[in-house]
Structure formats: C-alpha cells, structure tokens
C-alpha cells in the first residue's frame, strides 16, 4: 500500500542506527508495525559502493511499507542515492535532518544540515525530480539548540522543495534525549505546512500516543526508544495495553534471535554479530516497566521502581549490567532454558541500585 495512504493513524518504527536493523523490523511487523524505516544510510557511502551501507537499504519481503533514510548534503548525491534505494524497494525516502552525533554534524550532515533551509529545499527538489513519484520526506528536530529554533523554516523549506510529509522530533540537537519532547512545537508544524506531519518523542504506551495525537493534531506518530523497549507497542495500538509476563517477553526476545540468525546466518562469524546486536537490544529491553500498582504510568524520562519485579525472571530481565545481558544472550543463542538462579550474581553497585530501572535513554 502506498506510504501516504497507509500513514494516517500509523505508529511508525523510526530510523535508528543499529536499532532498526532488518530482523528487528521483521519482529515489529509481526507485532503489528505497518510503516518501518531502516537505519540511517549515508548517500556518499552508497556511491562509493560500501557493502555495509548497501546492507542497510535491504527490505524484508513482509514489510508493508518500508522507508530508507538518507544522510547527505550534496543534492546530486542525494538524488542519485534516492533513485537507487527506490529501485531496490523503498516506498518512501527520508532526509536525515536530525542526527545529533558529533561525527556526522561535523561533516555537515543531520542536524547540522538543518541549519541551512535553502540547501534543504534544493536537496529535496533534486530528490523529488529523481524519484518521479516516490514520496520524499524529511525528519527534523526543533533546531540546533534552544537559542536557535528554526523548525518552522526548515519544515516550510522542505515542503516548498516537494516533501510529501515531515517527521518532527520534538527536541533540539543540543537536548539530544535529555528532556521531554515538545508536542506543542510539533503542533505548530502541523498548522504551518499543508502535508502530513508525524510527531516523535517519549511514546511508550498507547495512551501516550493518543495524548500526543490530540495535543499536536499530527497525522501519525513515530517511535524510536519506545519501540526498542516495547516492540509489542504496535500491537497494543489495535488491541489495547497488555501487561506481558516475563515469559511472554522472553519469548519475544527469543523470536528476535531466531530472525537475526535467519538474516545473518548460523555460522561462527554471523552468530557473533547476532550476539552483539542482541546484547545491544537487551540494553533497551531491560528498561521495560509496566503500569504502576496505583494505576499511573512510567515515563520515558525517569527512573522506575522495580516493585513489579517479583519473580526471579522479572528481576533478571530488569538487570542493566552487561554480564546479565551477555548471559541471557548466550542462553538465547543456544536455545537453552533461562534459569535465573544460574545467572551471574549482580555486582555490588547493582545491588545498591536494584530497586529502580532506568526507563529513559
């Protein structure tokens, strides 16, 4: 189904370096995701024929609607790369105007490019011309920092260039992920441009999504950390909130490992890669916390008491140390039963802080 037809009301799995790898996107599709975006891909590296970059634009056959996010600041390179990824199955192509990482911004990419609205417009124009109908979108932050908020200028420039939709992460580059997203600012973009706006920031439960939609008027939302912590969030949007048991969650993590082995292979080098990705994912899975006993909800930007972790497996899955994540990964890769009593003991530091879990990233 075309991107713009599928978009209204969707919860989009956002582009995340390492996080939105192909097996994880497949897992999220199995759990209800309809629109997915791959990891950020550098246009110049595609032109230089880097194999690792080409791996990022591969689409899983079962993805209903798949987008590729490109990073670059040269209009000709971006147009060439856009045509390439569209020829390989992308349903839409997104321009990265939000990456806050110093390595990329020092090269004029991501959030640094968003400081040049006129260049953004030219890049989008060239990409639209090269694609001939495949939608071009942009993903922006609110600005470089709180003293330089130019999100309305950038959004308008992108739309003037032909962008079919605008993704808005409600934080500045300087804020990274430290502060709550500004959904009122997302709403300003909604009212300022004549194309669909997709809001992004701090969405972890279905009621978060509905509140964000109501507050901003956005056509859809995008999740990043929320989708890493709770890949079943997509299913909750149609079936309602679900408080999964530790065994239920472990089965989902096991399914990811199976999909990863299917994708990368079941030989020593591939298994090492799967182990690396799985340990990384456990760094987010361990942040899960359900609705509190009093009926209130955890937030993305706070530490959460572990009062819900009453079983040994729940306590194990909530551990945030690398030793626990490595041990769990080894068990899943070996397809062995997970016995919490056999896990390595927590460190003294963990014991001191074991009554809370860091939900925020």
Each residue's pLDDT tens digit, 312-347:
999 999 999 999 999 999 999 999 999 999 999 987
CA distance from start to end of the chain: 33
pLDDT of res. 306: 85
Among residues 239, 269, 296, the one where a domain terminates is: 239
As a whole number, mean pLDDT of residues 292-309 equals 87
Among residues 239, 262, 296, the one where a domain terminates is: 239
pLDDT of res. 350: 60
Pairing of strands 35-37, 92-97: unpaired
pLDDT of res. 360: 46
For residues 31 and 110, state if they share a domain.
Answer: yes
Share of the chain above pLDDT 90, in %: 89
Q: Of the candidates 239, 225, 248, 237, which has an alpha carbon nearest to the alpha carbon of residue 314?
A: 248
DSSP letters, 111-134, are GGGGG-HHHHHHHHHHHHHHHTTS
pLDDT of res. 183: 97
As a whole number, mean pLDDT of residues 34-54 equals 96
SS3 65: strand
pLDDT of res. 349: 62
For residues 211 and 272, state if they share a domain.
Answer: no
CA-CA distance, 288 to 294, in Å (whole number)? Answer: 17
pLDDT of res. 361: 46
Spatial CB neighbours of 139, under 8 Å, sequence gap ≥ 6: 14, 15, 69, 94, 95, 96, 97, 98, 166, 167, 168, 169, 200
Q: Of the candidates 210, 216, 82, 190, which has an alpha carbon nearest to the alpha carbon of residue 137?
A: 82
As a whole number, mean pLDDT of residues 221-244 equals 96
DSSP letters, 269-324, are HHHHHHHHHHHHHHHHHTT-----TTS----TTSEEE-TT--SHHHHHHT--SHHH
Share of the chain above pLDDT 70, in %: 96
For residues 26 and 162, state if they share a domain.
Answer: yes
Q: Cα–Cα–Cα angle for 160, 162, 166, nearest 5°?
A: 85
pLDDT of res. 19: 97
**How many structural domains comprise the chain?**
2
For residues 73 and 166, state if they share a domain.
Answer: yes
pLDDT of res. 351: 54
Q: Of the candidates 161, 231, 157, which has an alpha carbon nearest to the alpha carbon of residue 189?
A: 157
As a whole number, mean pLDDT of residues 14-19 equals 96
pLDDT of res. 177: 77
For residues 322 and 235, state if they share a domain.
Answer: no
pLDDT of res. 101: 92
As a whole number, mean pLDDT of residues 25-44 equals 98
**CATH code where residue 222 lies:** 3.20.20.70
Would you tell me how many other CB atoms lie within 10 Å of the CB of residue 123? 30
Q: Which domain holds residue 172?
A: 3-239
For residues 113 and 187, state if they share a domain.
Answer: yes
Question: Residue 178 pLDDT > 90, yes or no?
Answer: no
SS3 257: helix
The C-alpha R_g of the chain, in whole angstroms, comes to 20
Catalytic residues: 99
Q: Which of 30-39, 196-205, 211-220, 340-349 has the lowest mean pLDDT?
A: 340-349
Tokens of 139: 């993903």
**Average predicted confidence (pLDDT) for the chain:** 94
CA-CA distance, 2 to 294, in Å (whole number)? Answer: 43
Top-confidence residue, 355 or 123: 123
Among residues 214, 239, 264, the one where a domain terminates is: 239
For residues 182 and 254, state if they share a domain.
Answer: no
Question: Residue 97 pLDDT > 50, yes or no?
Answer: yes
For residues 260 and 227, state if they share a domain.
Answer: no
């Amino acid at each position: 189904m075309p991107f713009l037809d599928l978009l209204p009301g969707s919860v989009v799995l956002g582009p995340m370096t390492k996080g939105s790898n192909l097996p994880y996107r497949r897992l999220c599709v199995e759990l209800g995701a309809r629109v997915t975006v791959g990891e950020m891909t550098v246009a110049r590296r595609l032109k230089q024929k880097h194999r690792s970059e080409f791996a990022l634009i591969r689409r899983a056959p079962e993805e209903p609607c798949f987008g590729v996010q490109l990073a670059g600041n040269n209009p000709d390179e971006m147009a060439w790369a856009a045509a390439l990824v569209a020829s390989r199955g992308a349903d839409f192509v997104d321009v990265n105007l939000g990456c806050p990482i110093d390595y990329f911004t020092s090269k004029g990419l991501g959030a640094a490019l968003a400081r040049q609205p006129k260049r953004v417009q030219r890049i989008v124009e060239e990409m639209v011309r090269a694609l001939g109908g495949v939608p071009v979108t942009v993903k922006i932050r609110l600005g470089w920092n709180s003293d330089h908020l130019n999100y309305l200028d950038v959004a308008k420039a992108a739309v003037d260039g032909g962008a079919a939709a605008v993704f808005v992460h409600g934080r500045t580059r300087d804020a990274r992920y430290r502060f709550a997203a500004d959904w009122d600012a997302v709403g300003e973009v909604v009212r300022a441009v004549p194309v669909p706006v997709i809001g992004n920031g701090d969405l972890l439960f279905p009621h978060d999504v509905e509140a964000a939609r109501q507050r901003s008027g956005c056509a859809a939302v995008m999740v990043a950390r929320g989708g890493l912590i709770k890949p079943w969030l997509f299913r909750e949007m149609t079936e309602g909130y679900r408080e999964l048991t530790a065994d239920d969650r472990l089965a989902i993590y096991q399914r990811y490992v199976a999909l990863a082995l299917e994708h990368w292979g079941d030989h020593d080098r591939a298994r090492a890669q799967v182990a690396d990705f799985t340990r990384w994912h456990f760094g987010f899975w361990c942040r899960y916390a359900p609705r509190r006993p009093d009926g209130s909800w955890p937030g993305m930007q706070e530490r959460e008491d572990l009062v819900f972790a009453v079983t040994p497996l729940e306590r194990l899955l909530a551990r945030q140390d690398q030793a626990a994540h490595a041990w769990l990964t080894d068990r899943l890769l070996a397809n062995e039963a997970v016995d919490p009593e056999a896990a390595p003991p927590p460190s003294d530091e963990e014991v001191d802080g074991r009554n809370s879990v860091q939900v925020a990233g």
